[in-house]
Amino acid sequence: MSDEEYFRSCVARERRLAQLLGHEVEEYADSAGTLWEGRTPMPKWTRDWAACGALIAEYELSIAFTHAPGEAHSSAVSVGPVIVRLAEHPDAEHALRFAVVKAVVHLLEHGACHRMPLRRQHLPDPEPPHC
């Protein structure tokens, strides 16, 4: 997968999460990779630790790195019901953030999450209007 394809897959996963959380998002050509709801930028959950960390806390996700027998380093990360292979991502941190978002999407799509977070809980404060 090329860097551009990987980037697009991250944005697509973020778009799906935003939709499941009840947001109507748009992406503009002059700010590729940033999703917007009105004038408010959406979190970059797969690309920003602060945004991703909020999801881990909100959904009380368990995280475990798995080692193949005889391997010194992890080969995959499990987040809740999701397993993501580290080799499919640029590094372990990217794989972990991607897995967190994928796990929350899975929980919301499959009704495993009985509570929906507040719509604005993971969003920055909107910018004041420019005068």
> What is the pLDDT tens value at each position of the chain, 131 positions in all?
788 899 999 999 999 999 999 999 998 888 888 999 999 999 999 999 999 999 999 999 999 999 878 888 899 999 998 999 999 999 999 999 999 999 999 999 987 655 544 344 455 554 544 44
Task: Tell me which residue of 40, 20, 22 sits closest to 31, measured CA to CA.
Answer: 40
